[in-house]
Every structure is written in structure tokens, then in C-alpha cells.
Amino acid sequence: MATFVMLGKYSGEGLKGMSSARTEKAKELVKKCGGTMQTAYALLGEQDLLVLADFPSADNAAKASIALSKLTGIAFATSQAIPVDQFDKLMESLP
């Protein structure tokens, strides 16, 4: 499983549906897409939401990102996160 960072920005429509029930639906949707939601944070600033989730592949993460946008009205930018120690090992092999 790989970790993905999902940064969300609320639309006007997405703000209307905020609730703990919708959060639970979002967690279930991530699960249906083969993932596990590690944690989620509300943010103050340019982005409104941070979700950390594990997925078996980028395809699964992409499906979840689009499905969550459709469910919640939140636009997500989703990126794979590489642990720093793993990234350092990858960089050591560069010429």
C-alpha cells in the first residue's frame, strides 16, 4: 500500500453538506475504492482539507479522488507520498 495526500478545496455546494455523517460516507467510499483513510484535517489557508489515505495503486487513489469529489463537492488534488528514507535510497542510486 502506498500513502496518498489529498488536498481538498470546498465548493459552495460542498460547504452546504458538511456533517459527520458525510465524513463517514467518505471513509466508506475510500474503503470501497480499496483504500484506508488514515486521518483527515480541516485546514485554515489556501486549502480546506487534508486527507492521508493508503491505496494499493495510483488507479485506486484516482478513483477515490474523483468519487469523493462527486460525493462531497470538494475538489481534490491527490499526490503519492514517498517516505523520506525511501526517497533518499532512490536518490543514492543516481549517477
The predicted-structure confidence for 16-71, as pLDDT tens digits, reads as follows 888 899 999 999 999 999 999 999 999 999 999 999 999 999 999 999 999 999 99
Domain spans of the chain, in order of start: 2-92
pTM: 0.88
Query: Which one of 3.30.70.260, 3.40.50.12780, 1.10.3720.10, 1.10.3660.10 gives the CATH number of domain 2-92?
Result: 3.30.70.260
- Between 14 and 3, where is the model more confident? 3
As a three-state string, the secondary structure of 13-80 is: HHHHCCCHHHHHHHHHHHHHCCCEEEEEEECCCCCCEEEEEEECCHHHHHHHHHHHHHHHCEEEEEEE
CB 26 within 8 A of CB 37: yes
- Between 94 and 61, where is the model more confident? 61
Give the pLDDT of residue 94: 87
